Amino acid sequence: MTSAPAAPRRSTTAGGLVSLVFILVMVVWPLVAVFQRSLVNVGPDRVLSILGRDSVRQVLLFTTGQAVASVILTLLVGLPIAHALARYNFRGRSAVRALAVVPFVLPTVVVATAFSALFRRVGVDLDDTLTAILAAHVFFNVAVVIRIVGGFWARLDGRQVAAARVLGASPWRAFREVTLRQLLPVTVGASLLIFLFSFTSYGVILILGGADTSTIETEIRRYAIFRQEFDVAAVLAMVQIVVVSLLAWASSVFQRRFGAATSIRRPVAGVPLRGFRRRLHLGLVLALVLLVVGSPLLALVEQSLRVGTSGRGPTGVSQASYGFGNYMALTDRAPVLPVSPAEALLTSVGFALLAALLASVIGLLAGRAAVRGGRLGRLLEFVALIPLGVSAVTLGFGYLLGFTVFDLRRSIWLIPVAHAVIGLPFVLAAVVPALRSVDDRLRQVAATLGASPKAVRRIVEWPLIRQALVSGAGFAAAVSIGEFGATSFLARSDTAFTAPLAVFRLLSRPGAVLRGQALALSVIIGLLVAVLAAVLERRRGDSVTLL
Amino acid sequence: MSFLTLEQVTVRYESDPVVVALDDVSIEVEAGEVVAVVGPSGCGKSTMLRAVAGLEPVGSGRILLDGQDLAGVPTHHRDLGLMFQDHVLFPHLSVADNIGFGLRMKNQATSEQSARVLELLDLVGLSGFADRTVDQLSGGEAQRVALARAVAPSPRLLMLDEPLGSLDRLLREQLTGDLRRLIDQLGVTALHVTHDQVEAFALADRVVVMCDGRVAQVGSPSELWHQPASVFVAEFLGHPNLWVRGDDTLLVPVDAVHLDHSGSRSAVVDLVEFREGRFRVSARSDDDHPGDTVVFETDAACVVGQNIRFGFDAQQTQTLGRTVRQPKMS
């Protein structure tokens, strides 16, 4: 009748239940609201007739088409880069790899602003075109190819190719039958992920696509916010949820099935950079990285520093002068914004801190219960994945539908909570492996030495998972600072006006002053997020969050 | 009354209640005694340790330590020391902080803590290691730190779970001696779980042999060796010559067998090993009792395939009960 393990069990269960309730209310309920609205209130017949509308069909088609195009283009650009980075040994390789991955953590509004700045700098009029959207998607997702495919490529056992060559395979045949064969599954997995990101792209489409381009995400916004046709928006959101969860599921299956199965070793040293052909090859690839990833970022910074009246037309480059004027202007009240850009930035930082805190608490409670197993643990492990299958826009819309009581949906607090939900997978991805790696016998030894369950957590468990938790919380904060999709649905009062919303609003109105502020604000948001991500990556070593 | 008493303790796993991990086990350990629990993996020996530590809920029966019924006493109030196979040191703490962990839990004064830590470091031969991190230790050093950590708070009972299992043989033999000397020096009562009967015999005053969640036999090493209670115990302790005769089994000690040209039995040699100065010969009988395994030691070299004749000292043999083990009740 020993009851010793009961005490920590009870508190773990209680914590697990708290996190379960949170996820049920903040994630599952909004989704239920979307389904209820479209299946019960609208009814299957009208759902079909809505989906049959020409305008809706066109949106579905365009959304899918641009996502497929994004995947193909990203692979065309990303695979050569991944190959060269995996193959050659050169000074600065890790720096290039880090640079290539930067876009992935950047907020969508920042990226969209960067491309708009690039077009202006180069003097091409690509605003409001499909080309602009695809370019931005490639920019974002090249990181996925480099991380997933390139990371795998670099660790492929080179001796396999050697073995194939010795057995009589030509270099090309060895590459095809040994290397390519093993790369295929991870490439498919990466493609699924890229498709998912492009399919749910929102900020990029809104800013770079212009008024005539619409995807499911932007249509949900248009129907819900401007036309107040919640029925149509709910049907679109339902389609989105189904597609996204299927894709998320498929990509996780792919990653799990094939990510680790093929023979992987520690990073292979790589080929030394000798001879003209190799140098030329690498040079071309680095130029490609600079073109795809570097140029929008450089253009963003350059344009943000440009002051004066010259920034009006594509040809007005000649009178340029540089300075920090746009940055100084951030504290000025812009007529189109309810608050100054600087105040919006402060709001964002505040939300980010709250969201990170909330996500860490919930993540820790859920993670503990999940690691312990049992029915509650398994349930939590499943429901905690749900946020991955929901786009930010559907979540925001779900809140509008689901939290009508007491007019909760107008509450400013809903924004940091939504951000916490979006950041929760990052926290779990960091905390759960850390919790798993704490040997249960460490807790047992501590208990026999007189440590109470509380003391065990404080003295033994906490120091071992602290770093992972901080890292997960940091990523949650980074996501929150740049979050645009859910926020655009929920920000109803001036106090809730975040920096990404400010960038969007500033960019969507004409005027050099507003544009300058948008550029400067984008640079600051981007820097904040990139520095945060870089610091966290360094601390964590080589681990990859959710990628 | 004994210092540690297990009274008809039964443990079932939560995950699989059909499996009886410990089946009606009763054991007594006197104060200052070192008792080893041995048995093949899955026999319940580690479960017993975990039940005493309060890490495994007890289904029925009682565990008494120094007169106190441990039911309802949480692990951290039981005042025990536990040492695991692969040391399980706290990776984020220094050597000194690992050893001082239990003292800190008792809120001992800092000066007393550091004095005790130094004393123990000295005792286990690791003076000067106080500020090292755990990953700077070799396997043997880590094991010594784990022992120091377990005994630092002067536990009522020291429990060792395969304490030397992860070390290589030479180091293990050396540490076995060290461990026994340390336990004697500390005068602590110890319960030692291992699958290695050599280690158990070297360390323990008394040995409990377990099989399928039950106690198969309890006794001093020499009692067990010379009078195993069953075929299982004899086999487990490593007696090779167990000859089936009807329902019974005849145990013939290795040193009761000798080469003899006029011996009553014959066999064919199938393995010859050179061990500690003598040949250890394994043969298979081909006479009226074909198939008996015969192992003996000799100074004369034998060759595999050679036909030999041998005799044995019938007085040293014993008859063990039925070979069929009692079916397990659950």
Question: Which chain B residues have a beta carbon less than 8 Å from that of A459?
Answer: 101
Task: Kindly state whether residues B249 and B220 are assigned to the same domain.
Answer: no
Q: In terms of domains, do B57 and B203 share one? A: yes
Enumerate the β-bridge partners of residue A335.
Answer: none
How many separate domains does chain B show? Answer: 2
Q: Identify the DSSP state of B202.
A: H
Residue B252 covered by a domain: yes
CATH number at residue B262: 2.40.50
Domain of A138, CATH number, reads: 1.10.3720.10
pLDDT in tens, A286-300: 999 888 888 999 999
Cβ contacts below 8 Å, chain A against chain B, sum to 93
**What is the spatial distance between Cα A303 and Cα A317, in angstroms, rounded to a whole number?**
11
Cross-chain Cβ contact B81/A449 below 8 Å: yes
Residue A6 belongs to some domain of the structure: no
Number of H helices, E strands in chain A: 27, 4
How many domains is chain A built from?
1
Q: Which of B48, B70, B96 is nearest to B210 (CA)?
A: B48
Distances (CA, A) of B94 to A154, A462, B90, B100: 36, 16, 8, 10
Given a cut of 50, whether residue B329 has pLDDT beyond it is no
Evaluate whether residue B58 is within a structural domain. yes
Q: Does B25 lie in the same domain as B78?
A: yes
As beta bridge partners, residue A78 has none
Q: Hey, are the CB atoms on A448 and B56 less than 8 Å from each other?
A: no
Residue length of chain A: 547
Query: What chain B residue is nearest to A373 in terms of C-alpha separation?
Result: B15
Residues A268-285, mean pLDDT to the nearest whole number: 79
pLDDT of residue A91: 82
Per-residue model confidence (pLDDT) at position A261: 42
Please state, in angstroms and rounded to a whole number, the distance separating the CA atoms of residues A60 and A55.
Answer: 9
Residue A4 to residue B74, Cβ atoms within 8 A: yes
- Rounded to a whole number of angstroms, the distance from the CA of B252 to the nearest CA of chain A is 43
What mean pLDDT do residues A131-156 have? 88
Query: Which residue range is the domain that position A295 belongs to?
Result: 20-540
**Same domain for B272 and B309:** yes
Contacts of B56 in chain A (CB under 8 A): 2
Domain carrying residue B277: 241-320
Distance from CA of B5 to the nearest CA of A (A): 15
A contacts of B107 (beta carbons < 8 Å): none
pLDDT (0 to 100) of residue B220: 94
The three-class DSSP label of residue B243 is strand
Instruction: Enumerate the residues of chain A whose CB falls inside 8 A of the CB of residue B61.
Output: none
CB under 8 Å, gap of 24 or more: what pairs does A121-127 form?
A121/A299, A121/A302, A121/A303, A121/A317, A122/A299, A123/A314, A123/A315, A123/A317, A124/A314, A125/A314, A127/A208, A127/A210
CB contact under 8 A, B71 and A1: yes
CA distance A191 to A340: 40
B81: chain A residues, CB-CB within 8 Å: 448-449
Residue B86 lies in a domain: yes
Domain-terminating residue out of B170, B192, B226: B226
Same domain as B202, residue B53? yes
Residue A183 vs residues A6, A25, A173, A297, B255: alpha-carbon distances, Å = 48, 41, 14, 30, 64
Helix, coil or strand: residue B83: strand
Chain A residues within 8 Å of chain B (Cβ atoms):
1-5, 7, 439, 441-442, 444-453, 455-456, 459-460, 463-464
CA–CA min distance B11, chain A (Å): 10
Judging contacts by C-beta atoms under 8 Å, the chain A residues touching residue B92 are: 463-464
Indicate if B167 and B77 belong to the same structural domain.
Answer: yes
3-state secondary structure of A39: helix
Q: Which residue in A4, A450, A464 is closest to B55 by CB distance?
A: A4
Closest-approach residue (CA) in chain B for A374: B15
Question: Which amino acid belongs to residue B190?
Answer: A
Which residues are within 8 A (CB) of A44 and not within 5 positions of it... i.e. 6 or more apart? Answer: none
Residues B181 and B245 in one domain: no
Contact list, A5 vs chain B (CB under 8 Å): 54-55, 57, 75
pLDDT for A309 equals: 54
Token output for B276: 């500690």
B153 CB neighbours in chain A (<8 A) are: 449-450
What mean pLDDT is predicted for residues B309-315? 90
Residue A158: per-residue pLDDT: 66
CB contact under 8 A, A444 and B75: yes
- Report DSSP state, residue A184: H
Q: What is the pLDDT of residue A473?
A: 92
Q: Quote the DSSP letter at residue A179.
A: I
Q: Are A446 and A459 in contact (CB under 8 A)?
A: yes
Residue A310: its pLDDT value, please? 46
pLDDT reported for residue A1: 35
Which whole-number Å values give the CA distances from A320 to A293, A305, A312, A521, in the listed order?
Answer: 24, 10, 11, 20
Query: Mind giving me the DSSP string for A350-387?
Result: HHHHHHHHHHHHHHHHHHHHHHH-HHHHHHHHHHTTGG
Beta-strand relationship, B307-312 and B265-275: antiparallel
Whether residue A498 lies inside any domain: the answer is yes
Model confidence band, residue A87 (pLDDT cutoffs 50, 70, 90): confident
- The average pLDDT across A255-283 equals 67
Q: Which two tokens mark A346?
A: 């402060």
Q: CA B126, CA B143: separation in Å to the nearest integer?
A: 11
| Average pLDDT, integer, range B276-305 | 89
Same domain, B93 and B156: yes
Residue by residue, DSSP assigns A252-318 as HHHHHHHHTTS-B-SPP--EE--SHHHHHHHHHHHHHHIIIIIHHHHHHHHHHTEESSGGGSTTGGG
CA distance B54 to chain A (A): 6
The string of pLDDT tens digits covering residues B200-211 is: 998 899 999 999
Chain A partners within 8 Å of B52 (Cβ):
none
Q: Which of A534-538, A540-544, B62-66, B74-78 has the highest mean pLDDT?
A: B62-66
Residue B287 lies in a domain: yes
Q: Residue A447: its chain B contacts at CB < 8 A?
A: 53-55, 74-76
A497 to A60, A152, A202, A397, A483: CA distances (angstroms): 31, 41, 18, 17, 12
Per the model's pLDDT, the better-predicted residue between A467 and B15 turns out to be A467
CA atoms of B229 and B219, how far apart (whole Å): 10
User: Do B72 and A3 count as a contact with CB atoms less than 8 A apart?
Assistant: yes
Residue B233 covered by a domain? no
What is the CB neighbour count within 10 angstroms for residue A498? 30
Tell me the pLDDT band of A45, cut-offs 50, 70 and 90: confident
- Indicate the burial class of A313 (C-beta count within 10 angstroms; 0-12, 13-18, 19 or more): exposed
Tokens, residue A261? 């199965």
**Closest chain A residue to the Cα of B10, Cα to Cα:** A1
pLDDT class of B323 with cuts at 50, 70, 90: very low
Task: Give me the CATH number covering residue B175.
Answer: 3.40.50.300
Backbone φ, ψ for residue A112 (5° rounding) = -60, -45
B132 plus B204 within the same structural domain: yes
- Local structure of residue A333 (DSSP, 8 states): P
Strands B278-285 and B265-275: antiparallel
- Residues A1, B72: C-beta atoms closer than 8 Å: yes
Q: Is the dihedral of CA A527, A528, A532, A533 positive or negative?
A: negative
- From the list B211, B237, B231, the residue with the least C-alpha distance to B22 is B211
User: Is the interface score ipTM higher than 0.85?
Assistant: no
pLDDT of residue B282: 93
User: B206 forms bridges with which residues in the sheet?
Assistant: B35
Q: Identify the contact set of chain B against chain A, taking CB-CB distances under 8 A.
A: 51, 53-58, 70-82, 84, 88, 90-92, 101-102, 105-106, 149-150, 153, 155, 159
Residues B26 and B98 in one domain: yes
Q: What tens digit of pLDDT does each residue of B6-49 get?
A: 999 999 876 677 778 899 999 999 999 999 999 988 888 988 99
Task: Round to whole Å and give the CA distance between A444 and A451.
Answer: 9
- The radius of gyration computed from the CA coordinates of chain B, to the nearest angstrom, equals 23
pLDDT digits (tens, 9 = 90+) for A169-204: 777 777 877 788 788 888 888 899 899 999 999 999
The proportion of chain A whose per-residue pLDDT surpasses 70, expressed as a percent, equals 89
Residue A546 lies in a domain: no
Q: How far apart are CA A191 and CA A211, in angstroms?
A: 28
Closest CA to B73 of B85, B63, B83: B63
- Mean pLDDT of all residues in A478-485: 92
State which residue of chain A sits closest to B12, comparing Cα positions: A1
Burial class (CB in 10 A: 0-12, 13-18, 19+), A16: buried
Chain A: closest CA distance from residue B322 (Å): 36
Terminal Cα-to-Cα distance of chain B (whole angstroms): 29
Measure the CA–CA gap between B132 and B113, rounded to whole angstroms: 17
| Secondary structure letter of residue A264 according to DSSP | B
For the segment A213-236, what is each residue's pLDDT rounded down to a tens digit? Answer: 889 999 999 998 888 888 899 999
Residue A413 lies in a domain: yes
In whole angstroms, give the CA distance from residue B113 to residue B103.
Answer: 6
SS3 (DSSP) at A410: helix
The residue among A166, A450, A132 whose CA lies nearest residue B81 is A450
Beta bridge partners of B191: B35, B159
Cβ proximity of B201 and B218 under 8 Å: no
**3-class SS letters over A416-429:** HHHHHHHHHHHHHH
Alpha carbon dihedral A258, A261, A267, A268, in 10-degree steps, equals: -110
In a domain, A70, yes or no: yes
Q: Is residue A8 one of the residues assigned to a domain?
A: no
The answer to whether A200 touches A217, Cβ cutoff 8 Å, is yes
Residue-wise pLDDT tens digits, B172-197:
888 888 888 888 888 899 999 998 88
- If one compares A286 and B165, the residue with the highest pLDDT of the two is A286
* Tens-digit pLDDT profile for residues A287-345: 998 888 889 999 999 988 988 654 444 444 445 688 888 888 888 887 888 888 999 99
CA distances from A464 to A251, A349, A435 (A): 30, 28, 8
pLDDT tens for residues B66-96?
Answer: 999 998 888 888 888 888 877 788 888 899 9
B101 and A446: CB-CB below 8 Å?
A: yes
Q: Which of A3, A452, A464 sits opposite B76 (nearest CB)?
A: A452
Smallest Cα distance from B82 to chain A, Å: 6
CA distances from B280 to B269, B298, B300 (A): 11, 7, 10
Residue A3 lies in a domain: no
**Continuous segment of H or E residues that includes residue B133:** none
- Which of A441, A447, A460 has the CB atom closest to B84's CB atom? A441
Is 90 exceeded by the pLDDT of residue A136? yes
pLDDT digits (tens, 9 = 90+) for B202-250: 889 999 999 989 999 999 999 999 999 999 999 999 899 999 888 888 9
Interface probe with B: pick from A445, A452, A458, A461, most Cβ of B within 10 Å:
A445
Among B226, B259, B292, the domain boundary falls at B226
Are residues B240 and B293 in contact, defined by beta-carbon separation less than 8 angstroms?
Answer: yes
B16 part of a folded domain: yes
Percentage of chain B surpassing pLDDT 90?
41
Contact residues on chain A for B106, CB-CB shorter than 8 A: 450
Confirm if A470 and A532 have CB atoms less than 8 A apart: no
* pLDDT tens for each residue of A433-448: 888 888 888 888 899 8
User: Token match 């990404």: residue?
Assistant: A500
pLDDT score for B330: 35
* Cross-chain residue pair A449–B57, CB shorter than 8 Å: no
B323 neighbors B246 (Cβ within 8 angstroms): no
Domain-embedded: residue A93:
yes
In the structure, what pLDDT confidence band is assigned to residue B324 with cuts at 50, 70 and 90? very low
Shortest CA gap A366–chain B (Å)? 22
Same domain, B57 and B194: yes
- Give pLDDT tens digits for A55-75: 889 999 999 999 999 999 999
> Tens digits of per-residue pLDDT, A90-127?
888 878 877 777 788 899 999 999 998 998 888 887 77
Angle in degrees, 0-180, between the axes of helices A374-383 and A6-23, rounded to the nearest 10:
30
Query: Are B280 and B221 in the same domain?
Result: no
CB pair distance less than 8 Å for B75 and A5: yes
Question: Chain-centre distance of CA A134, in angstroms?
Answer: 17
Using CB atoms within 10 A of its CB, is residue B196 exposed (0-12), middle (13-18) or buried (19+)?
A: middle
Structural tokens at position B60: 């029925």
